Amino acid sequence: MSDVHLELTQVGIEFPTPKGPFRALRDVNLKINQGEFISLIGHSGCGKSTVLNIVAGLYEATEGGVLLDGKEVRTPGPERAVVFQNHSLLPWLSAYENVELAVDQVFKGSKTPAEKKEWIEHNLKLVHMDHAMHKRPDEISGGMKQRVGIARALSMQPEVMLMDEPFGALDALTRAHLQDSLMEIQKDLNNTVIMITHDVDEAVLLSDRIVMMTNGPAATIGEILHVDLPHPRDRLALADDPQYNHYRSEVLRFLYEKQRKVEH
């Protein structure tokens, strides 16, 4: 493939513990193209977040490495924006100011104050938060906080967007709304996205490829499933689609037959 955007090669990581090193990941190989939407799915504790954190630069791989457009990634940076699981908004800043912090940092000197303001408002509008942009996180609901978190990540104009279980803490209806919003945004922006999820439906609905991970320790990629459904996708129409249900059962089979989690 010629337009490989992000490449993980033989990535592995060990964490030092008092009982000796703990191997969390080994031999993770993945090539991601520009504009691809990738889901990482697996049982909890399988190292999904670790993969994401390595791509984000928050962890450093013990072996192997990550290339973004041919350049090695070692430290965190705004070109790999992260949407955190628990939104991680600064509680003392309004939605607008939270996005502003990112915009000020990324477009330091390249946008005038008026352009910055317009850009912040544009991104909040994308996630349908323009009506409450001067509210602080404790004044808005969980779903709205996550929307602001996404707006903050989008506002950095990232090369890759990393989403760490972005909708994990939300109720099913709010989650569906946010998934729809995300698909809508994705249609326009065509970002490269890596998303961690526990939710099989979410993975099939949103992704171009689903990366299924084996159980830890020493987790790695088990299978990769291409989801060949045309965009835009509609959750109601897909509910009865045999192809959709086939993908769904593939993932379920991997998770509950091949990688059955043994609870200790």
Residues near another protein, by CB under 8 A: 56-58, 75-78, 80-82, 84, 86, 88, 90-92, 101-102, 105-106, 136, 138, 156
- Cβ at position 108, least distance to another protein in Å: 10
Tell me the C-alpha distance between 83 and 207, whole Å: 17
Which of 118, 87, 109, 89 is closest to 101 using CA atoms?
Answer: 89
Three-class SS of 138-177: HHCCHHHHHHHHHHHHHHCCCCEEEEECCCCCCCHHHHHH
Phi, psi of 169 (to 5 degrees): -95, 10
Query: What residue has token string 């939710």?
Result: 199
User: CB-wise, 139 or 234, nearer to another protein?
Assistant: 139
- Cβ at position 235, least distance to another protein in Å: 30
- Cβ at position 206, least distance to another protein in Å: 22
User: CB-wise, 99 or 210, nearer to another protein?
Assistant: 99
How many residues does this entry show for the chain?
Answer: 264
User: CB-wise, 90 or 224, nearer to another protein?
Assistant: 90
Specify the long-range contacts of residues 102-105, CB closer than 8 Å, at least 24 apart: 102/78, 102/152, 102/153, 102/155, 102/156, 103/155, 103/156, 105/78
- Cβ at position 155, least distance to another protein in Å: 11
User: CB-wise, 91 or 232, nearer to another protein?
Assistant: 91
The Cα diameter of the chain in Å comes to: 57
- Cβ at position 212, least distance to another protein in Å: 26
Helix (H, G, I), strand (E, B) or coil at 63: strand
Upstream peptide bond of 113 is cis (omega within 30 degrees of 0): no
Phi, psi of 82 (to 5 degrees): -115, 135
- Cβ at position 157, least distance to another protein in Å: 13
User: CB-wise, 84 or 130, nearer to another protein?
Assistant: 84
Tell me the C-alpha distance between 208 and 190, whole Å: 12
- Cβ at position 129, least distance to another protein in Å: 18
* CB contact at 8 A, 36 and 211: no
User: CB-wise, 81 or 126, nearer to another protein?
Assistant: 81
